[in-house]
Amino acid sequence: MKKNLLLLSSIASLLFISCSSDDDGLELCGDGDCEPTETTIDNPDSYTFTRDNESTVSFGGQTTRLKMGDEILSAFTDVTSISEQILSMYAHEEGANDFEDADLNASDKSVRSKTAASADFFATNATDQAVIRADFDGWISAQVNEVFPNWEVAAAAGTAGQIADGSSTRYINAQGLEYNQAFNKGLIGALTIDQVVNNYLSTAVLDEGDNVADNDANVVVEGEVYTNMEHKWDEAYGYVYGLNADAANPNDDLGADSFLNKYIGRVEGDDDFAGIADEIFQAFKLGRAAIVAKQYDVRDAQAEIIRENLSEVIGIRAVYYLQQGKNSLDQETPDYGGAFHDLSEGYGFVYSLQFTRKPNSSEPYFTKDEVDAFLVDLMDDGENGLWDVEATTLDAISADIAARFNFTLEQASE
């Protein structure tokens, strides 16, 4: 894909020649009018960084939340669950016996506390944060109260229940929506995208307090081997690669979780977008190397590359699933099971658009109001929601999404 940001990360070692300007900034040397200072960024082949022979890379909290998310998703299809149990998993408190994994039960982390919780988008926006968290709570409760009672009932327009999708069985509400897909794909935006692009890669977080001075002086967090700035960048990395078998070389097994990692892999598998996975990884790696080298302009340029690419993953998959759903409905005998599954995934990815971030901007690609309008449009072509959705509606939403990004509707639809 064509990018409008400079990606420098394919070079193993980067040399910057600069000199001090009168205002204590840096400017490029030219015409022999300054004494050059050489700064080298040691950009490793893998995401491997050490200090005194110890790894400085740490993102355990992110791995924990990804594991919690996977268990929560499993509970959506466990008809023996009750809403209070799944809600407790989502809003886990330290020591509560919510998960099968004892380490998760012992953790003080939770998924809900990091939903719509970024510094840039929600630190001063408690109103939208509360509404978004209520959406996720609502999808959990509705799965238990609407879908579970009809687990063995054949779904029909206006009736929740099960519906065949090839060799799989889907469980939908009365309007054809799979709540587990809305929750899953919505959480890709509200948790992973929001925490990466609007929180940990934000200068408000990276440069908070004494972070710059401490990083310049190699002052590490008490009891640790990393600086606070290094750790914040790693936490962003962890939300993308926290469950990969080899997190230092994560593109070898994309699809290691049910969230962002999986769908980077799906987009990478489309010939129109081949190379996007490496662009994201290389920008993460060079940005981290730039922190070690105290080159914060390079760090920030890589953050913008990550924002653009990860946001496009969300946009691409939103269009893809809306179009796949349309195709399944546009048959002599509509494949309702396949269509509703795809459209439910599309619903979740559309929901996630509000957490994306335009590069070199403080704005999302789509506002919450725009996203809410899309979701209403998806469900209001008739009284039975997705059972009544029209191809023209799906095409219009898809075209509006593609127009904001650097891809076409046709590219994303395949």
Q: Tens digits of per-residue pLDDT, 138-173? A: 999 999 999 999 999 999 999 999 999 988 999 999
Q: How many residues does the chain have?
A: 414
Burial label, 391 (beta-carbon count in 10 A; 0-12, 13-18, 19+) = middle
The answer to whether residues 359 and 305 touch, using CB atoms and an 8 Å cutoff, is yes
Residue 2, domain member (yes or no): no
CA distance linking residue 111 with residue 43, whole number of Å = 33
Sequence-distant (6+) residues with CB within 8 A of 343 are 176, 177, 321, 322, 325, 378, 386, 389, 394
Q: Tens digits of per-residue pLDDT, 373-406? A: 999 999 999 999 999 999 999 999 999 999 999 9
Give the DSSP letter string of 171-188: EE-TTS--HHHHHHHHHI
What is the pLDDT confidence band of residue 414, given thresholds at 50, 70 and 90? confident
CA distance linking residue 133 with residue 170, whole number of Å = 25
Residue 51, domain member (yes or no): no
**Residue 229 sits in which domain range?**
59-414
Residue 6, domain member (yes or no): no
- The radius of gyration of the chain's CA atoms, rounded to the nearest angstrom, is 23
Residue 13, domain member (yes or no): no
Quick one: pLDDT at residue 24? 37
Count of domains observed in the chain? 1
Residue 205, domain member (yes or no): yes
CA distance linking residue 102 with residue 254, whole number of Å = 26
CA distance linking residue 326 with residue 191, whole number of Å = 28
CA distance linking residue 130 with residue 158, whole number of Å = 29
Quick one: pLDDT at residue 40? 86
Residue 253, domain member (yes or no): yes
Burial per residue of 63-84, b for 16 or more beta-carbon CB atoms within 10 angstroms, e otherwise: bbbbbbbbbbbbbbbeeebeee
The neighbour count for residue 113, using CB atoms within 10 Å, is 14
pTM score of the predicted model: 0.92
2 is written with which tokens?
């064509």
Residue 411, domain member (yes or no): yes
For residue 17, list its beta bridge partners: 38
Residue 119, domain member (yes or no): yes
